[in-house]
Structure 1
Amino acid sequence: MNPKISRSIEEMFGIQACGNALFYAHPDGLRFELSEGGEPLEQVLTALRKASLICEDLFDAVDSITVCLWRFAGNDKFALRKVLRELKNVGIAIPEEREIWFAPVPFEDRFDESIEEWRISVAFQLPITKLQSLFWCAFTVDFPSLHPNPRCDVYIFNFKDRILVHPYDDRGMDIIGPNKDFLRKLYVKHNSLLLDYDRARMSKSFE
């Protein structure tokens, strides 16, 4: 167990760091468009290529990354075992030094309002060489025909530069954090990959 991981995440990125639609929940964020249509595998590979290009600038000076994975577990507290099996198949072994916690799903978000439901989170560190494996996990989440597929959300942290990356599925990736100067550099260099729908919002922040 390493309770310092969740504490560090909350202190730097806020209590809702591992949530949905981070771009809209945090000021001065970036949202990138990734896949371009086609068959599932084609979409995933396109998303992998673009995300890897962007993140070369995010993690070029680090040897390891901090990762938080979370998955909706319903009322099955043993759902993490399924995630671990699929992660192993994609080449990711969660180290012994990790932090695991359960959180109840709010009543309004439950699939079955008559029972208590849970989500499981696990945080740990990995070598930077596992970055593309993490992207694969994120981009296959909506494609049950593709395997391995842990079906979990992926959050990747660069604490050194105070940046959080959330590849939310094959369609896109949010990048947030309190380091606005760093984000501005990404905005300029990878401007062509920004999601056009939210471009006006990003322009107000970085131009």
Structure 2
Amino acid sequence: LEQAFYRSIRLFEAVFGEEDEILLVTDVHSIKKDIFLQKRPLNVYLKYIKNKEKLYQLSHQLLSSIFDEADDQSVTHRFALSCKKPEIKYVQLLKAICYEDFAHPSSILKNNPQSGYDIYFVNLSKEIIFHLYDDRGCDVLASNKESIKFLYEEYNHWILDYDREEIDLLFK
């Protein structure tokens, strides 16, 4: 876990500058009749956004299942907030994401284990998406490969073996 914390924080800090426009997106995947979010609001924004006034800008969309169009019982609650890096307690948030598969107090959906979630940090300034999925890894995507080539060069030794061939082909 310590290695996951270290690597996710280093990558995040490499991708996001202090003045970059960030869209913090959280998708919560649940079934239609689950009223968990009505009873207890999502704590991602309440716990990890420094200025609570900013929360008035939080947007919410209710989407059909984003995994299976034929599934009419599942829904995705998409929350989004525009912010900058200094406004996010990103170190704590990244650690909470890493802890998700463990019984830890910082778990994001600890009181609603039947729902899944994904958190995306979208760098609107650089057109990069950072998605730490859990302690096992993270994806960094960009609108063009040149904007993340520096990550490939500096953190190449962190690339997972099962992704290496495909990523090497992209950058060589």
Decide whether the 8 Å contact of 2:21 with 2:125 is kept in 1: no
Alignment of 1:198 onto 2:163: yes
Cα deviations by residue, 1:114-143 (Å, 9 ceiling, x for unpaired): x72222110002341322233123222222
Amino acid in the other structure paired with 2:55: P
Mind listing any 5+ residue stretches in structure 2 that lack a counterpart?
110-116
Mind listing any 5+ residue stretches in structure 1 that lack a counterpart?
1-42
Q: Alpha carbons of 1:178 and 1:107: their partners in 2 closer, same or farther (altered >3 Å)?
A: closer
Q: Which residue of 1 aligns with 2:104?
A: 146
- Scaled by the length of structure 1, the TM-score of the pair is 0.66
Matches within 5 A, 1:122-201: 122-129=79-86, 130=88, 131-143=90-102, 145-151=103-109, 152-201=117-166
Number of paired residues? Answer: 159
> Distance in 1 between the 2:107 and 2:169 partners?
37
Amino acid in the other structure paired with 2:104: L
Q: Alpha carbons of 1:149 and 1:205: their partners in 2 closer, same or farther (altered >3 Å)?
A: same
- Scaled by the length of structure 2, the TM-score of the pair is 0.78
TM-fit CA distance, 1:109: 8.2
Decide whether the 8 Å contact of 2:18 with 2:84 is kept in 1: no
Q: Alpha carbons of 1:50 and 1:76: their partners in 2 closer, same or farther (altered >3 Å)?
A: same
Q: Which residue of 1 aligns with 2:22?
A: 65
Percent identity between the aligned chains? 23
Decide whether the 8 Å contact of 2:24 with 2:122 is kept in 1: yes
Please tell me the root mean square deviation across aligned C-alpha atoms, in Å.
2.6
Larger deviation, residues 151-160 vs 134-143: 134-143
Structure 1 outlier segments of 4+, above 4 Å = 106-110
Decide whether the 8 Å contact of 1:163 with 1:177 is kept in 2: yes
Q: Which residue of 2 aligns with 1:4?
A: none
Matches within 5 A, 1:77-116: 77-79=35-37, 82-85=40-43, 87-88=45-46, 90-92=47-49, 93=52, 95-105=55-65, 116=73
